Structure 1
Amino acid sequence: MARIHLIIILLVISSTSSSSSSLREQEEDMIKALPGQPQVGFSQFSGYVTVNESHGRSLFYWLTESPSSSHTKPLLLWLNGGPGCSSIGYGASEEIGPFRINKTGSNLYLNKFTWNTEANILFLESPAGVGFSYTNTSSDLKDSGDERTAQENLIFLIKWMSRFPQYQYRDFYIVGESYAGHYVPQLAKKIHLYNKAFNNTPIINLKGFMVGNGDMDKHYDRLGAAMYAWSHAMISDKTYKSILKHCSFTADKTSDKCNWALYFAYREFGKVNGYSIYSPSCVHQTNQTKFLHGRLLVEEYEYDPCTESYAEIYYNRPDVQRAMHANLTSIPYKWTLCNMVVNNNWKDSEFSMLPIYKELTAAGLRIWVFSGDTDAVVPVTGTRLALSKLNLPVKTPWYPWYSEKQVGGWTEVYEGLTFATIRGAGHEVPVLQPERALTLLRSFLAGKELPRSY
């Protein structure tokens, strides 16, 4: 621990730069305009921050500032999970970013529910090897894990704050989903310890974090997934009983009988979109270049399940990579939504995040956990089981909250943590319920309970 603190202190000293060099670096990272982008009233920056010199590991970021009062609004870091999936391909391009990509990957259009109306949004592709983030040491792709990711995300923030000193001491929040259920609280803990070590006004002024449909505890997440599938008529009584009998979910390895039970559950699911069980799936045609675009009209918002394919097209365009300062060589960079080499070779993964939640609720951070209620992969049932083990006193009992004159979901406020569901949303909450997600964000940033009425 002492060695880590020494490294961080040396890093802070070495990364301190003059205002003139910071301005120069910001100018180099400024995005003049993205190809096919509509005119906007906010600034954008993107580029690289080196987090390990000896291995050549550099993380890629994209900052979309707020179109109004950007100099006073908080900074929000968004992280996607996987592990190994892109925060730009998912968070920025499908969920909370200011732009959406059209079907041909040729143009961008505005997202009217973008979160940068409320905060300056910093998207980070982490760890190295994900999205545009890279390493010069190929073996790093098979050696990623929770601890190194958290440590290098902290190093990124320290060095990034040196490049953008206007965000030092600014109210700072972290939000993420899925396996970012590990990234977010682990990084929050690193920042908390870092701030305590310096015993002064924190440069990284962490106020709180929010996790959506996040991995929280492997036992309860897996048990909750079985409960969710059965309670939503996706698996038979027989298979559910078999899972409960043969699967303890207390370790990463499972018995043969448990594997058979899970195999039958998989067969019974069918080809449903597990991340949003009532939504259509994107079906590839035989030539693998066209898609059958199922449609789902959610009130006034039309959900398109094929948006991932549009991101693959757009971010592999050389002109897009040049505009984002992402293609640093003359060789076109192969961008993918998820790096499966990173995913399949993940080294250390904490079994439970609950000890970190206990530590950080005691530290006084604002902590919200939310669940889209149509996600069968990391479902609301598992999250509720895990949260119940924290044994937090109830501050405000369960009640329905409202958005756009409809029930947006349900919530309960505990001492030190708020839990909320988002009605009709899947694994990526802002995809299917963007307005409800924006209501959630506004309440979180304001430190207020979700609306009780419309």
Structure 2
Amino acid sequence: MKTLLPDLLLLLLLFLFLSPSSATTGRLILDFILPKIGSGTARPWNLSFLPDVSTSSKPGSKDSDLISALPGQPKGVVARQYSGYVPVDEKAGRFFFYYFTESKKTVNASEIPIFMWINGGPGCSSVGSGAFLEHGPLVVAPGGKAVAESSHAWNQFAHVLYVDSPVGTGFSYSDTPSDYQNYNDATVAADNLRFLVNWLARFPEYAARKVYLGGEGYAGNYIPQLAQLIHNRNRAGKYPAINLKGLILQNVILDADEDRWGFFDHLWSHGMLSQRMYDNIEKYCIKNSTRKGCIAVAQRTGRVVAPLYMFDLTAKICRLSEITTPRLPVDEYYECQEEDVAAYLGLPEVQRALHVNPSKAPKKWIQCNSNVAKAYGEITNSTLPILKNLLSNNISVLVYRQVHNTQLEE
């Protein structure tokens, strides 16, 4: 196993010891991965794939993206923040929204790395979840009208860049309607590379910095794929190299087949799945696998575990007064923080401060846009070959998951 670089270790330790567990909506394995496997739209990734990505002729100015202050922001927050849109396809009018916070660290400032974070879903906002819920410098306060300084912030050790990918996620948008109906791993990976290339053109002072990529859930596909494209682009030698050093993958899906059985193993080991149901999964899906029999038993199991809160089996209910509501989705009994974030990012004054284009903003900001997952086409069946290739080329990879999290984060 390759030794992790010091910067990567610092980020990991900060997250493990300071960061609270994150929770987002959705059921990635049951509702997204299993149908893809069943329909035959989970296929191997082409390790040599390299889209033609050049720098935008109009990369934009970072000065216009500088955030003076966010509504409800406490005094004394000194790290500069930026947000805005970066083009990924100017002809199609396709733009990714980002939020960037400079590091609080001042020692050896010229060596502070860039850390780029993408949430999964597909369709879950990195700005909403990663930045304002998990490890950004500011977290939304209860009630959704202000923000408070976070002790879990990753910008204590790095400059952190959060991007809403793909279009339809968070504030990212396209002027081409068909872009909202044609998602797949290859096109999203290409857009993620275009975003990073154009963002570095907007912030040229960081072009030579060490770059780390991170994400959770379905970003177990996004991040390795982006890393492979960066590696291929660097080897081609046609454009200035991106100094990619490592990956951090939290609660991610890496191999569609193996991860789906690990999901059921975890539930069974925590007493959430009966022995009979577990034995049926082993019988029809592993030992004597038949497509029809396996899908049937997986669907039955899915219905049984539907009332469980998959992201944290030990989580406390935050909506006790509404516990008798019969039709409230199970996630909503636990995800009050997510609702606060949605309320905050939906405020007009917050969107103005973040430089959101009011004519392109969604009518209602949502953490996870289920329409992205519904319109998503071909996925990669396993990113393990990508990780093996990256490791062989001296790019560090760190994979970890939370103990009581049965679901892959979005």
Aligned: 1:37 with 2:73:
yes
**Distance in 1 between the 2:234 and 2:287 partners?**
36
| 1:53-452 to 2 correspondences below 5 Å | 53-69=90-106, 71-198=110-237, 202=241, 204-248=242-286, 255-269=291-305, 271-283=307-319, 285=322, 305-329=335-359, 333-378=363-408, 427=409
> 1:418 matched to which residue of 2?
none
Secondary structure in 1 matching 2:310? coil
**Distance in 2 between the 1:191 and 1:80 partners?**
19
> 2:9 matched to which residue of 1?
none
Kept after mapping to 2: 8 A contact 1:129/1:141: yes
Deviations 1:59-116 (A, max 9, x none): 0000011123254311100110001110011111111111111221111111111110
Q: Which runs of 5+ in 2 are unaligned?
A: 1-45
Kept after mapping to 2: 8 A contact 1:76/1:120: yes
**Bigger relative contact order (CA 8 A; separation at least 6):** 2
Kept after mapping to 1: 8 A contact 2:104/2:157: no
Kept after mapping to 1: 8 A contact 2:50/2:232: no
Kept after mapping to 2: 8 A contact 1:219/1:250: no
Amino acid of the residue matched to residue 46 of structure 1?
A: S
C-alpha RMSD of matched pairs (Å): 2.9
**Distance in 1 between the 2:51 and 2:173 partners?**
26
Kept after mapping to 1: 8 A contact 2:247/2:396: yes
**Distance in 2 between the 1:102 and 1:53 partners?**
36
For residue 134 of structure 1, report the CA deviation from its aligned partner. Answer: 0.3
Amino acid of the residue matched to residue 7 of structure 1?
A: D
TM normalised by structure 1 equals 0.72
Sort the Cα spacing of 1:373 and 1:174 in 2 relative to 1 into closer, same or farther, 3 A. same
Amino acid of the residue matched to residue 167 of structure 1?
A: Y
For residue 16 of structure 1, report the CA deviation from its aligned partner. Answer: 8.3
Kept after mapping to 2: 8 A contact 1:127/1:133: yes
For residue 355 of structure 1, report the CA deviation from its aligned partner. Answer: 1.1
Kept after mapping to 2: 8 A contact 1:78/1:91: yes
Kept after mapping to 2: 8 A contact 1:327/1:333: no
> 1:391 matched to which residue of 2?
none
For residue 311 of structure 1, report the CA deviation from its aligned partner. Answer: 1.1
TM normalised by structure 2 equals 0.80
Kept after mapping to 2: 8 A contact 1:223/1:249: no
Secondary structure in 1 matching 2:312? coil
Range with bigger deviation, 111-120 or 332-341? 332-341
Secondary structure in 2 matching 1:173? strand
**Distance in 1 between the 2:308 and 2:382 partners?**
28
**Distance in 2 between the 1:326 and 1:142 partners?**
23
Amino acid of the residue matched to residue 338 of structure 2?
A: E
Range with bigger deviation, 66-75 or 337-346? 66-75
Secondary structure in 1 matching 2:162? strand
**Distance in 1 between the 2:102 and 2:317 partners?**
33
For residue 357 of structure 1, report the CA deviation from its aligned partner. Answer: 1.2
Secondary structure in 2 matching 1:191? helix
Sort the Cα spacing of 1:318 and 1:194 in 2 relative to 1 into closer, same or farther, 3 A. same
**Distance in 1 between the 2:222 and 2:372 partners?**
15
Identity, in percent, stands at 37
Kept after mapping to 1: 8 A contact 2:105/2:155: no
Kept after mapping to 1: 8 A contact 2:138/2:150: yes
Secondary structure in 2 matching 1:157? helix
For residue 330 of structure 1, report the CA deviation from its aligned partner. Answer: 8.9
Kept after mapping to 1: 8 A contact 2:171/2:361: no
Residues paired across the two proteins, number:
356
For residue 248 of structure 1, report the CA deviation from its aligned partner. Answer: 4.5
Amino acid of the residue matched to residue 266 of structure 1?
A: G
Kept after mapping to 2: 8 A contact 1:181/1:214: yes
**Distance in 1 between the 2:219 and 2:51 partners?**
27
Sort the Cα spacing of 1:345 and 1:331 in 2 relative to 1 into closer, same or farther, 3 A. closer
Aligned match of 1:7 in 52, 61, 76? 52
**Distance in 2 between the 1:218 and 1:287 partners?**
33
**Distance in 1 between the 2:116 and 2:154 partners?**
11
**Distance in 2 between the 1:47 and 1:189 partners?**
26
**Distance in 1 between the 2:398 and 2:331 partners?**
37
For residue 257 of structure 1, report the CA deviation from its aligned partner. Answer: 3.2
Sort the Cα spacing of 1:47 and 1:249 in 2 relative to 1 into closer, same or farther, 3 A. farther
Sort the Cα spacing of 1:269 and 1:282 in 2 relative to 1 into closer, same or farther, 3 A. farther
For residue 329 of structure 1, report the CA deviation from its aligned partner. Answer: 2.6
For residue 229 of structure 1, report the CA deviation from its aligned partner. Answer: 1.2
